[in-house]
Every structure is written in C-alpha cells, then in structure tokens.
Structure 1
Amino acid sequence: MDPHQTPFEYSQAGDLIVGAIVSVVSSMFDEISFEEYPEMKASDEHISTPKAYQQVLSLVFAVNEINENPKVLANISLGFYICDSYFNTRMAYQNTMKLLSAWNKIVANYNCDKSKNLIAVIGGIDSEISLQMANILGVYKIPQIAYCIFVPMVNAKTQLPSFYRMVPNEALQYTGIVQLLLHFQWTWVGIMAADDDRGETFVQTMKPMLFLYGVCVAFTAKIPIMFYTVNLIGYLRSMKTVTFSLMESSIKVFVVNSDHKTMSCFKWLLYMNSLSEGIRVTSMGKVWVMTAHWDFSSMTFHRGFDINVFHGALSFAIHSNEVGTFPDFLHLLQPNSQHGDGFIKIFWQHAFNCLFEDSSEEMNDTCTGQEKLDSLPGIFFEMRMTGQSYSIYNSVYAIAYALHKIYSSRAKSRAIADKSRTYLSNLQSWQLHPFLRSISFNNSAGDMVYFNENGELAAELDIVNWVTFPNQSFLRVKVGRMDPQALQGGEFSINEEAITWHNGFNRVMPLAVCNDNCHPGHNKQKREGEPFCCYDCPPCPFGKISDQKDMDDCFKCPEDQYPSKNRDQCLPKTLNFLSFTEPLGITLVFLALFFSLMTSLVLGIFIKNQNTPIVKANNRNLTFSLLLALLLCFLCSLLFIGKPQTMTCCLRQTTFGVVFSAAISCVLAKTITVVLAFMTTKPGSRIKKWLGKRLATSIVLCFSLIQASICVVWLSTSPPFSDSDMGSLAEEIIMECNEGSVIMFYGMLSYLGFLSIVSFTVAFLVRKLPGNFNEAKFITFSMLVFCCVWLSFVPSYLSTKGKYMVAAEIFSILASSAGLLCFIFPPKCYIIILRPDLNSKDQIIRRTF
C-alpha cells in the first residue's frame, strides 16, 4: 500500500491520473465539533457491499487494458486514484477534495505533488454523491463522468458544464416504466421510494405520467432510510408499519425506485420482520418493477435473507455486454498481494465470511486467500460485469479515447511525437472537454459509446427479468429493451414468453387492476368517489356493442351489420326480400299461376262459346278485355317476387296500376252498358245511340290512358329504383324498390281507388234492375270485395316492412283480381257448361223482361 494511502483507497501511478469515487463500505461517522481540524473520521465498524468492489476492479481492469494497448495511448500511461464515499455525501465531498490536493493532505487550491496530474474523475453511485462531487469539480472544470441515474436538472448542461453521465437520461426510464405497465395492462399499482428528497422527486414525477396514461397509483410506500441510526426501536416500528401495509395490500405490482439505500433498507426490513413475526416473505406474490439503479446485490448482513421474494422481478438496466477477458482478470486476484488495494481484504472477509490471521477480530473461519470468486452467490459477486461496472469501464475508455484524439491531432509526424507526449503529460483537465463531448468509439464488447448533446450516454436500456434460486444464485434474463434511437413506435419492445413470473402467480402473468376487466359486450362506468381505475361494467345498451376489454364506450355496428346476442361482435345482416325459393314466395307464385290458369280457362270457354247468347248479351269484347286484364293482373304480381332490380322496380307498380285500371275500366264499362241497355227499353229513349262497341271502347281506353299518363309522368320525373333499407330491421337489410316519387305512387293508387269507387257506386245503384243476366249484382259484390281488399291493404302496407309488405301488396292484387274473376264469371260458366238449355235468346229475353 502506498505510504500516503489510507484504508479503502486504491492508487496506481501514471502520467495522467483518473480519479474515482466509489461506494463499497458503509461506516458510522463522528459528529464534527469544529474544535479541531474538521475531518471526517470513520469508525472501525464497516458494513460492506461485496458486489460494489467489482466497480473498483472494472476501473483497474480498464486502465491496465489501455496501458497494454499501444493503439490507444502510445507512450502515455494512465494511473488512477480511487477513494470510497462510504455511501456518505460528506465523505464524498471530502475525498473529492482529496483528489484535488496533495497525497493525504486536503488543502484547497494547492497541489505540490507533480505526480498527481488529475485529468478526470469518475463517480458517484447516486445523484447526491454525484452532485456533491460536481459542485467541486465544476469549479476547476475537471471532467466528471458519473454512472448514476437521477432526475435531470433544468438546463443541466448549462449548470454543470463539466458533468457527463455514462448512462441514458432518466426520462427514458420513466417512459419505459409507463410503456411496460401499459403493455401488461397493469393499471392498479403501488410506488415504493425512499423517504427523502430523491424518493419524493421520483413519486412526484411518476404519478402525473401514470395518471396521464390511465394508470392509478393505489398505494405509495415511503421507506425510512437508516444507516447506523441510534433509535433502532423507533426505526423498526416505522418499517414494520410499511411492511404490513405492503403485505396486506391487494396490489400485485409495485414500481420501486430501487437505489442502493432504499433496497438495502427494504431487504433488511423484510428479513427482520420475517424473523420477528414469522411472516412468509416469499409468499407475498408481488411483481417488483425496478428502476435502473437496481443491481441484485446485498450487504453482508443480508446473508441469511431469502432472495426468492424478488423472483420474477422486472427491472430496467443500463445496457451492458460481456467483456471477454474480465473473468480472467478476476481469477488473478490475490488478497495477500494487495499492490496498493485498500479494498480487497475487507471485501474478501465479508464476501467469504472469514477473517485473515492479522485481524483483531475473532471468527471460526480463517481466510486462506485461495477462496474462489466464482463460488460466491450472485448477490455478493458476479464474474461478469454488472451494469454499473460496465459504465465505469466505458468511462475510462472514453477518457482514454479523448486523450488519444488530442495526441493524434498533435503528433502528425514522428518528429513531434515526443513533444506530444510531453504536452499530454502537462495537459490541463479543462482542455479535455471539447474532445470528450465529441467522443465516439466501439468498445471491446462491440458497443458504440458516445455522448449526446446533454453529455449523457446515447444508448438503450435493457429490460431484465430476475430468476432466483434457493442457493441465492440468480439469472438475469434480458426480455426487452427501451431504445430511443429506434423508429417511432418501436422504442419499446418486450418478449412475454421469455418472462418467468413469481411462483405465487402459478407462472401466469398477474393482473394488476382495481377490479376485473370489463369483458366484450360491456363498457366501463366510473364509480363515484373512487379512482378512475375502479369502475363497473354494465352491459352495452341495445343496438351497441364493445368488442374489446375495458372499452370506455360501446359503439354502433356499421349499417350492414347488427349486434350479436351478447353484444360483443357485429354480425353481417341477411338480405330481406321475397324470394321465389322460400315458402311464402312459392305459395304466392302458386296462387298467381293458379288464378292465371283459371282466368285462361274461363277466357278459353268464352272464346269457344263467343257466339252463344249469354256471351254476346254482356258485350263479349268487354268480357274478353276484362279476362285479359285479369290475366295480366295475376301475372304482374310475379314482378314483386325476387330480388329487386331497377327494371322490375320500374315495371311492377306501373304495370300493376295500368293493368288494374284497365280491368276496372272494363268493369265500369260493363256496368254502364247494363244501365244504358235498360234505359233504351223506354219508348223514345235517345240513349240507344250510345250503345255499342264505341262507347265501351272509349270508356276503357279513356280511363286506362289517364292512369298510363300518370305512370309515364312518374317514370319520366322520378322513377322507382332498387334500394336497401339498413335501419328498419335490426338483423336484416331490406332489399326494396324505392318508389321514387311518393306523390306519384299514391296518386296512381288514388286514381285506382277512384275508379273502384265509381264502378262500385254505379253497380250498386243498378243492382236491382230486373233480369236473370243483369251483371250489376255480381259486379257489386266483386267491387265490394275489391274495395275491402284495397282499403285493408293501406294500413297493412304502412305497418309492415320488407318482404311482408311486398307480400301484402301481392295478396291484395291476387285477392282483388280473384274477387272480380270469381263473382262475375262463374255464373256464366255454369250456364255455358252445365245448363246449355238456358243459353238461348228466348230464355234471355224471357228472363230479362
């Protein structure tokens, strides 16, 4: 050990010195009375964090590796001076001053030792220590490279121009935590942080971010910080309150600001409570989401603690990689050959739970110095570099490459190489800044190292899953990353299948919600007086659905779809139209064809017997016209069956209107013919000249042409067209004919109704005229049926939808046409076929008068 060196320091001479403030041991310090030279003095009782010793070794390893590499700094040697902060900000301040002063003497602004050419300083482990160092080093513009993560200051680069960090910005970690919680849909979480300013800053930063993204902070645990406190009983009581609240809480996921002090106190708390109260810590069944401060390490008094409580924990971690020769370097360590290392013996004793022979303490086990580092549990030491050690390793290389750039820029020829070496030996630390800011290199592990514009490492954060084992060993499994350099939308990535969850969750991903998720078919409804993450799940209202979990609102299906019974999906609507293949369509087609056949049969009978008196007695041309019109009426009903097309839509109503008008015009002409026929029997009547084919033809053509004119105007101005009605029926799309102009449609029907009423009225008035073959009686009954059918059609047409509305119109067409056919022609067919003896002129004259 160097004669000037005190315990817990490590130094090595060199042309340029890299200083470092690390945190390996903790100690109790006497209060300063200011009655003597104010110097912090540590007690002889130390608590070691063995794993932190690797940070010292990574710096030593990096310096030695650089000195052995002629490609980095030729003819220039690096040295180091490492001091311990004892996890104490005052000691960190004191030892920073020590780095700036002569060996073992703290005199501000004075260093008479030319061998101590301090070029840069690395440290410290947390934000408090780092900022205390920065307050001093910034005055002298000495570059400081920290390996801690802390909340960034406003204008940090302006306030701390000499400060660099070999870790990414804290904001990246906060964003990563939010993305992680959202990925697993954890909306009911707790936050744990130290009961100090740093913990309060963490809580006040995280809460608004989580609230913004819909995550509720249901529980906040403030962990009291204790390092050698005198009031141990009071501390235990406060810690026990926190622990019981934690264990009894139903919250499954906790976000932990896992700096060293917080986690040391928390683990010690769990351990002490498990001893005093018999609490099964490992059965807590929690998911710990740790910040990047977390390094699975323990102080030596945690040796008996069961680490399975952290099984399945997730943490963010500073990206690290394997440094190939580092394990070989560790295997060469010999505690009995210290070479100026003031840490190794205390590390060895605490790590292997033994004492060296020269120790004043008593213990059963004696350290031989031949113990194997790779036999230690991972919580005490790892053979691969941890994240913090990797940051220190990169920090040393960043300083070396910055010096190399200075050397390369001056040594342009061999002639001035020696002068360049002299220049570097006398280099002032402030001259390093321009080269350090622009540094960019690939380290031995293949990672790119460079600082961003804020003096922070431009790198990603790893997401690590911690898998623990009963022998206090563990695995760190990289399951994701948070990469700020990735394309938008790809910054966060995670592999769920690679995650091992805590045994309390039966290897299934835990749920962290205030209540069960709202299943599809339901929507979230806020509970009054409770956090927004707590809600009820009422079913979606009629006509709406939700097809995902936890939807805020239900929504309507597209017009061509309808909600399922459970209101969790949209089903395609079926087409609704009167088809030729369905039973109703088949029945109507059968009736139309049947009555068409009957009409054709009657027409055939009348044509065959057209010269008989009974056919000639009632104007056989009108009879043939009426039968032909009825035949077309029956057949036009077929236009209403089948999927509506533009052509059929244009033809169905207009054809029906014209043909029916012709049929009723024939009936009206026959009725008027009967009236005129009886009026001509009076002597001197002038009406006889109106009798004949001309009158009947004129009546039929006149009234039919009026309807035809209405239909032509209709087709010319606003013709019917095929359309679909999405909203009238919940589960069907009505394929229908849009009538175009409703006025013209009802005008056509009104005119048809007018003819019917006129025909019925005339027939009714002459129904009592004498004569066996007076058709007015039969026309009266037929028109009565006709009018009744169409009067009932109007309300049924307006009250039905879809194919049933079409069926109602077809039925009205068939029923009204059948009424005309069945009431007018059967009596005549009876005479023609069954009573031909009555079919004579004498019988007609005798029966009529």
Structure 2
Amino acid sequence: LIVYLFYFILLYIVFYLFCTVGQFNLNRMQKSGDVILGGLFPVHFFSSIPDLSFTSHFYVQGFRQAQTMAFAIDEINNNSSLLPNVTLGYTLYDNCVELGIGFRGAFSLVSGQEEQIILHNTCVGNPPVVGIVGDSSSTRSIAISSVLGLYRVPMVSYHDRQKYPSFFRTIPSDAFQVRAMIQILKYFGWTWAGLLITDDDYGLHAARSLQSELSVSGEGCLAYIEVLPWDKDTDELRRIVNVMKKSTARVVIAFVHESHMINLIEEVAKQNVTGLQWLASEGWTATAAVLQTTKFMPYLCGTLGIAIRRGEIPGLREFLLKIRPDLHHNTNYGNSMVNEFWEFTFQCRFAPAPAGWLEGGGALCTGQEDLENLNTEFLDISNLRPEYNVYKAVYALAYSLDDMLRCKPGRGPFSGHSCATLQSLEPWELLYYLERVNFTTPFGDQVSFDKNGDVVPIYDVMNWLWLPDGSTTVQNVGEVKGSAFKGEEILLDEDKIFWNFNSKKVTHVQSVCSESCPPGTHMVRKKGEPKCCFDCIPCSEGKINNKDSLECTSCPEDFWSNPQRDHCVPKKTEFLSYHEPLGICLTATSLLGTCTCAVVLGIFFYHHRTPIIRANNSELSFQLLLSLKLCFLCSLLFIGRPRLWTCQLRHAAFGISFVLCVSCILVKTMVVLAVFKASKPGGVTSLKWFGAMQQRGTVLCLTSIQAAICTTWLVSASPTPHKNTQYQNDKIVYECAFGSAVGFAVLLGYIGVLAFLSFLIAFLARNLPDSFNEAKLITFSMLIFCAVWVAFVPVYISSPGNYADAVEVFAILASSFGLLITLFGPKCYIIIMRPELNTKKSIMGRGSES
C-alpha cells in the first residue's frame, strides 16, 4: 500500500507538471511511418563535481542501442514477408539516466506531442505509439510503468509483470540473475560469501532475493551484507573493506553499478586486499572503465560474472557507418541525438553549439567526417548484449503487429469476433498479440513470452582474463539457462577459467564458514551464527551420517551402525547355539544324562529280580528313569535358533516331563509310607489303596493336570519366537516370548507344589525303620531339586539374552542329575560294586540291626 501510495502521489505531481508546464526540450531521434514505435535510451548521463554543478557526458553504448532499434525497424521495413505494405517509424528519447527526464519521455510517447493542449484541466491527444522498447534500468522501469500502465501501452523492458501486466522482458529478470549467481556458488561449492549492493531497487531486490533463495535451497549463507554509498564516502568505504578483510568469506558477490565498483576497488587497492574471488552482477561484469584501469587488475582478474547473452546482428555495422547528422533542422526538434554523437565523436561543434551538452570550443562540424577510419567503441559490434535484446524487443513488437494484421474479419479475438485495424489501432489490442508472439531470431534464439511476460532466461558466464601482454579481456566460459521443467542449468568450461591465484586451481578457492563434516558426524550449528557455521559432532550408536546434515539417521531395526558411524551393518544375531562352547557343553551334558539314564535303565532291567530293585517298587523306578530321560532330552529344545514349534514344545515338554518325574517320586514316597503303616497291626487297609493300579492312576492324573495347563497356555497365548533388542542395541537376541507369563508361572508353580509335597512326605518318612529306607534318598533328592529351582527364578529373570536359556537348561540338567544320582546312585553302587548286599537277608538284616 505504501508503494502504491507513493506511485499515486508521484503520478499526480507528474501529471500536474505535464499538463501545466507545456514545453519540453527533450533530446530525441525520430522517423515517420504508418505505425510508430517508441523507445527510451540512456544517451547522456550527468555527473556531479565538488562545486555542485553538473556536467553531461555522452554515453556511446546508449546511443548504439538507440541506433540498433533504428536498424531493426529499417530491416523490418525492407522485409517483404514481415508487415507487408506497412512502414514502421520510431520516436526515441534520451532519458539521460534520470528518472524525471525518463518520465518526460514516457509522457511524450504516450501523448504524441511535447506541447499539450489543456481543455478543462484535462490532457488530450491520442497516443501515437503502439509499443515502447523500455528503459534499461529496473528502478526507472518500475516508476515509468506506473504511467504507461494507465494507457496499457506494451513495453518490453525489465520489471515485475505481476504489477504491470502490459510489460514484457526480452532479457532475464533480476530474480533470475540472483538464481544464476546461486548456481555458480553451488557449482564450485562456495557456501560462505559476502554481498555488496547498491542502495536502489537493483541492489535491495538482489539482497532480498539472494537471502530468500539461499534460505530455501540451503546452498549457502551470507557472511555479511554491505550497502555501498552513492558518493565517494571514504570512511564508509574503508569500513566496508575492513569488514571484507576480517571475514572468513573469500567470495564476494557484488550487485552494484560501475561507479560504485570503481570507488570500492580503489579502497581495496589502497589496503591491498588480495585473495578474494569476485562474483560480478550484470551491472559491471563487462564494464570497460573498470577493465581499462590497470591498477585494479591484481585484485579483479579472475572475476566471474554474468552478462546478458551476446547475439549477432548482421548488417548493423554497415548501418552505423551510414549515420549522418541532420544539418537542416534545429537540434532541439530534429534528430538531435545524432548531432550530439557527431560532436562527441569528432570533438567538433555545430553552429550554434547546443547549450549544456559540449563544453568549450572546438572546430566546426561539417557532417562529412569519416566514421570508418575512426577507432571508436561505437563501431565495435563484437560484444552485442543490450543491443541484441533491443533488437529482439523491436522484432517482438513487429511480429505482434504482423499477426494482428493477418487477422481475418469474423474470426478475430475481440468482441463480436472482430479484428483490430491499423486505422483505429489501440495499444491494448497489440498487447493481446504480444502475449502470444513466437518467433526465432537470425541468431537462432526463440522468443516467446510466458504468463509472466518473460522469455526463456539465459545468461553468459564471463571471466576476467589477464593476458600475457598485461592487458585484460573478458571471455565467455559458460552459460546459465532457465527451464520451466528443470530449473536453472549451468554449463561451464573450467579449463578456460582464469583464477587469480598462484596455483590457478579452483580447489584453492575455498569459501566456507565450516568445513564439511566427515562421515559419521553431524552438524551442530554454532550459537548466534548463520547455519553455514557449525561444529561436527559424532553420531550416537545406532545412527549414521554420510552427508552434511543436522541429524544422524537411525539404522533400521535389524541393523546397527559400524564403528565409523557411516554405514548400517546387520546386527549380530545371538541365541544359544549348538556351535558355541556353552551350547556344546550343555548339549554334551544333556546327551550324557540321557545315556546315563539308559545305562541305569539297562542295569535295573537286567537286575530287576534282585531284592534291592524289587524292594523299592521296580515299576515306579522304571517310570522315573524314563521321565528323567525325557527331562534330559527336553533340554535340547532350548538350544538352537528359536522356531515356532520349538518355542511351543520346549516348555510343554519340560513341564510334563518334570511333573511325570516328580509325580513318580511322590507316589514312591507315599508307597514307602503306606508299606510302613501296613507292617503295623491293622495297617493292611492302608496298603490296598496303593496298589499298582492306584500308583499308575495317580501318576497319570497328576501328569494330566500339567498337560491341561500346557494346553490352555498354548491355546490362549502361545509362546512365539521374538527378536529382542533390549539387552544389547547392537545385537538381536533370538528368544521365545512366553506369550503369557501367568502360564509359565502356573507351570513352574505346579511342579514346585508336587516337589514340596514329595519333600515333605519323604522328610516325615526318613526315619522309618528299614534297612534300606528310600525316603532318606528322596528327601535329599527333593532338597537338591527345590534348591535348584528356587535359585533358578531370580537368576533366570536377571540373565540377559541367550544366557536366560542357558540358565534354564542348566537348571533342568542340574535337577535331573540330582535326582538321577541321589535316587539311583546308591542302588547301582550296591548292584555293581557290592552285590553281596543285594540280598533279601542282608536288606532285612540291616533292618533288624538298626
């Protein structure tokens, strides 16, 4: 709103002056025609001197741009296939690089006359131009656009089409210039740069855009932003150069104009600031004044910059050689720009001399001076850049007119399908066709405007080269091209680039706030500094990083970081394996127990008729040996990689085997107690309740309860294989999840109840009179059994990973060996080593002796 308000006030003031003052003395060049095109060019510029007076200077390049427009119009008029039977004319004004004079020229173009007729305080007059080749400055274009936009006169220039929809660009916008700079920074890996700008739309827009683009892309940071003073403020320039010297940024981006750059580089040379890599904006990349100052070259050679794309305009030099001054008209109203050029080039003057343009005297101009033999910049067409875009702008307007005049009545794009006519042509009608124009220049560049009024943007990348003879030139080393689909693309010929360093290698031009973090580390930004300044901190375990980023990446679940923290490697898998020493030992112990049971079973079977076996219930002894054998074998289910079937079977087999074993012991103990009571008077009754059938039934019933517990557990919450990563982050521990901790607790609890009952009954029967009282052995075996399993619970809970399975296997084997040795060891000793004691008399005798 503030900007629009400013334009409104400015526009009001200009309209007031325009409609009341009336007379303007504008420097111009014109040619009549059926259709008139307008143009604004910087032919003169003013410079101030200490006494606050002003001196005008002739700007040859600006005059050549105006002549390029005249050449293009002349070429179109001679082209029978383009605008046949229509002659183009032109009116070109000198804006003197001043906003006020540029406004005057714009009003003159849209009004058609420099003297206005005032009727009822209103300016009248039909606009004689249908299109304007606009000003080359962003600042002046934006201001003038506010005026021309009211008339909807097409203008081909540099500025923001969103605000001014009747304007177009044939050169890239300043926004693309910023993105082109970023592409160069990205190409060479320069992430830390300083920025110098001018205090105008050109510089301030560049600063905003550069900061925004760098922030979005994350490609780099600005170490500092300094605004160069308009005048030669020595103190301010010294301060800015000191900032550049102290900064760690070795790349300096300069979005400035030529005059600003000259003032700055003088201070750089005074302080002898070397080792900087300059990136030049289009405003001073190919500046002759800077290049021709030899003392600047030690500091500026090697500069990289971007420039408007160079083009070829065949026949332009011949056209320029035909220029002749107008000797028959007053220079204020004729082609005064040609006369001014002639006076400047040949250092002469016409009579009378135009006031203010050329100081001092000099020879009189004849108009017959020879241009061809004169060494002048005006005739150098080897580096046509702004001129080439003026050329394209004129042709864009011409092709639009041609498309408009080819419209067939009844098929037009306007109301009622009408067509525009040359006699009643309105600028907005031409605007419709200009938006859709599409042609190819002789140089091969396609020209068409997108919805923003822009052509396909392209910049040449230039490099300042120091030649062996001490002179300096600017060479093309690549280009930056924009694309609607791929963004900006940069092409560079690195072998051609001149680096102003001893090594001449780009690797020696480093400009980063912090070096890239090595693999395995991540960036941690330094407090209070830009994001490009950071420390490198190693990644934590389980995370990796192979690029500059703020965070390390966590490895997938089954992977872990390597020691260097730069790759994820598969986690080590861990389980109680048959191949590791612990697994081998437990497997061997299990097989040893199984074989021992088989041997004892064989001994008992072979000697089953001997008194010591018959006296201790041989059937239960055989059942007990078989159950112990199952206990030893079930421990093998806990060794090896857990599978679904092993997880489901291991605890069921373990629980049923041990209940079968303990129930046999319990029945054995009860039988011993019943036999003793039966030996007393009236005790026969108690013995009949513990016959063979009752014993088998009791064992089966007690075992069936455990089977039911196991079945319920498996059905409701079956144990399953589980990859446990809680014990060690870098390992995967394969184990069997219980599914239900309650089911496992009930299973163990039931075994514990039976074992406690067996221990209690055996303890009560330990002192019964008998020469070979098995109750004592059962008491001792149950004591070992209970001790093992009571110790097992806390050790199992606290054991990590595969050691939990090892603890359970150890408990199974220890309790099984305890039962096997305590219950069957003494009997085997007597059977094998002391057979003389294995007699009924010896057993009964011992009973009487005790």
TM-score after normalising by structure 2: 0.79
1:195 to 187, 194, 199: 199
TM-aligned CA deviation for residue 90 of structure 1: 3.8
The whole-number CA distance in structure 2 between the counterparts of 1:672 and 1:728 is: 46
Task: Name the SS for the 2:777 alignment partner.
Answer: helix
Aligned equivalent of 2:481: 481
The whole-number CA distance in structure 2 between the counterparts of 1:473 and 1:762 is: 113
Q: 8 Å contact 2:44–2:58 — kept in the other structure?
A: yes
Q: 8 Å contact 1:349–1:367 — kept in the other structure?
A: no
1:155 to 153, 159, 163: 163
The whole-number CA distance in structure 1 between the counterparts of 2:669 and 2:344 is: 127
Residue type of the alignment partner of 2:258: S
1:616 aligns with 2:614: yes
Aligned equivalent of 2:7: none
Task: Name the SS for the 2:277 alignment partner.
Answer: coil
Aligned positions of 1:54-93 closer than 5 A = 55-56=65-66, 58-93=68-103
The whole-number CA distance in structure 1 between the counterparts of 2:174 and 2:323 is: 41
CA 1:196–1:691 in structure 2 vs 1: closer, same or farther (change >3 Å)? closer
Q: 8 Å contact 2:192–2:512 — kept in the other structure?
A: yes
The whole-number CA distance in structure 2 between the counterparts of 1:437 and 1:759 is: 103
Aligned positions of 1:254-333 closer than 5 A = 254-257=252-255, 262-273=256-267, 276-277=270-271, 279-281=272-274, 283-286=275-278, 288=279, 290=281, 293=283, 295-299=285-289, 302-304=292-294, 306=296, 320=309, 322-323=311-312, 326=313, 329-330=316-317
The whole-number CA distance in structure 2 between the counterparts of 1:329 and 1:669 is: 123
1:23 to 19, 42, 59: 42
Task: Name the SS for the 1:575 alignment partner.
Answer: strand
Q: 8 Å contact 1:330–1:383 — kept in the other structure?
A: no
Residue type of the alignment partner of 1:122: V
Range with greater deviation from structure 2 (836-845 or 208-217): 208-217
Aligned equivalent of 2:228: 223
CA 1:529–1:79 in structure 2 vs 1: closer, same or farther (change >3 Å)? same
Aligned equivalent of 1:353: none
Q: 8 Å contact 2:26–2:94 — kept in the other structure?
A: no
1:122 aligns with 2:122: no
The whole-number CA distance in structure 1 between the counterparts of 2:239 and 2:340 is: 37
Aligned equivalent of 1:715: 714
The whole-number CA distance in structure 1 between the counterparts of 2:389 and 2:28 is: 20
TM-aligned CA deviation for residue 57 of structure 1: 5.2
Aligned equivalent of 1:654: 652
Aligned equivalent of 2:9: none
CA 1:776–1:181 in structure 2 vs 1: closer, same or farther (change >3 Å)? farther
CA 1:684–1:220 in structure 2 vs 1: closer, same or farther (change >3 Å)? same
CA 1:131–1:647 in structure 2 vs 1: closer, same or farther (change >3 Å)? closer
Aligned equivalent of 2:358: none
The whole-number CA distance in structure 2 between the counterparts of 1:63 and 1:82 is: 12
CA 1:109–1:588 in structure 2 vs 1: closer, same or farther (change >3 Å)? farther
Q: 8 Å contact 1:181–1:187 — kept in the other structure?
A: yes
Aligned positions of 1:594-673 closer than 5 A = 594-673=592-671
CA 1:297–1:759 in structure 2 vs 1: closer, same or farther (change >3 Å)? same
Aligned positions of 1:213-252 closer than 5 A = 216-226=221-231, 235-252=233-250
Aligned positions of 1:101-112 closer than 5 A = 106-108=114-116
The whole-number CA distance in structure 1 between the counterparts of 2:653 and 2:462 is: 79
Aligned equivalent of 2:743: 744
CA 1:73–1:196 in structure 2 vs 1: closer, same or farther (change >3 Å)? closer
Task: Name the SS for the 2:136 alignment partner.
Answer: coil
Aligned equivalent of 1:3: none
Q: 8 Å contact 1:336–1:369 — kept in the other structure?
A: no
Aligned equivalent of 1:796: 795
CA 1:222–1:30 in structure 2 vs 1: closer, same or farther (change >3 Å)? closer
Task: Name the SS for the 2:732 alignment partner.
Answer: strand
Residue type of the alignment partner of 1:786: F
- Structure 1: 5+ residue runs without aligned partners? 1-5, 34-40, 111-115, 227-233, 351-357, 413-422
Q: 8 Å contact 1:314–1:463 — kept in the other structure?
A: no
Range with greater deviation from structure 2 (524-533 or 423-432): 423-432
Aligned equivalent of 2:445: 447
Range with greater deviation from structure 2 (81-90 or 750-759): 81-90
The whole-number CA distance in structure 2 between the counterparts of 1:803 and 1:402 is: 84
Range with greater deviation from structure 2 (723-732 or 74-83): 74-83
The whole-number CA distance in structure 2 between the counterparts of 1:289 and 1:300 is: 12
Q: 8 Å contact 1:92–1:129 — kept in the other structure?
A: yes
RMSD of equivalent CA atoms:
4.3
The whole-number CA distance in structure 2 between the counterparts of 1:119 and 1:635 is: 104
TM-aligned CA deviation for residue 803 of structure 1: 1.6
Q: 8 Å contact 1:308–1:468 — kept in the other structure?
A: no
Task: Name the SS for the 2:514 alignment partner.
Answer: coil
CA 1:47–1:521 in structure 2 vs 1: closer, same or farther (change >3 Å)? farther
The whole-number CA distance in structure 2 between the counterparts of 1:780 and 1:139 is: 114
The whole-number CA distance in structure 1 between the counterparts of 2:727 and 2:831 is: 52
1:492 to 488, 491, 495: 488
The whole-number CA distance in structure 1 between the counterparts of 2:314 and 2:382 is: 6
CA 1:342–1:306 in structure 2 vs 1: closer, same or farther (change >3 Å)? farther
Task: Name the SS for the 1:125 alignment partner.
Answer: coil
TM-aligned CA deviation for residue 29 of structure 1: 7.3
1:165 aligns with 2:157: no
TM-aligned CA deviation for residue 538 of structure 1: 4.2
The whole-number CA distance in structure 2 between the counterparts of 1:765 and 1:717 is: 40
Task: Name the SS for the 2:578 alignment partner.
Answer: coil
1:152-198 deviations in whole A, cap 9, x for unaligned?
387323xxx5x443345555555666677678776644332113465
TM-aligned CA deviation for residue 640 of structure 1: 1.3
1:46 aligns with 2:46: no
- Structure 2: 5+ residue runs without aligned partners? 1-24, 119-126, 327-334, 348-360, 411-420
TM-score after normalising by structure 1: 0.79
Aligned equivalent of 2:10: none
